[in-house]
Amino acid sequence: MRVIEYSRVGGKYKFRLDVYGAYVLPPDLAREVRGWNVRTPFYTIKSGAISAQAGYAWDGASGPVFDTHRTLRATLIHDILYQAMRQRKINPADRKLADRTMLAILKEDRMWPHRRVWWYLAVRLFGWLAVRKER
């Protein structure tokens, strides 16, 4: 069974979830969540749980990096959180918590430690560009 479909859409590569996917924040991160209660046709964020509906599409990692089986879950959840911040459904001041969530997932999925630290530093330095309000 395929869970994630990889395709080229409009000149960009996209991932599309074929089944419902969910992630529950680790307790240390979940304790910091305030006011994350969002339901859209594509994703749901409620307290310490984040889920994506089948058909949700995202572009994977940004920048000069490559996606692997160890990065897809982290990029999915991180993209959902950043999309919610752009749409002002969750507070953009929670960006650091979103970035730490990505870091926790990369660790759970056994990404090489040095690589995950570089990814984390990149989103801390440049993530603000992706959180700017949608036009």
**Domain parsing of the chain, residue ranges:** 4-131
pLDDT value at 18 more than 90: no
Higher pLDDT, 135 or 94: 94
The CA distance from 5 to 82, in Å, is 21
What's the pTM?
Answer: 0.88
Helix 95-108 and helix 72-86: axis angle, to 10°?
A: 170
Least confident of 14-18, 30-34, 71-75, 104-108: 14-18
Question: Residue 39: in which H helix or E strand, if any?
Answer: strand 37-39
Higher pLDDT, 100 or 60: 100
pLDDT of residue 14: 72
If we measure between CA atoms, which residue out of 55, 48, 122, 121 comes closest to residue 81? Answer: 48
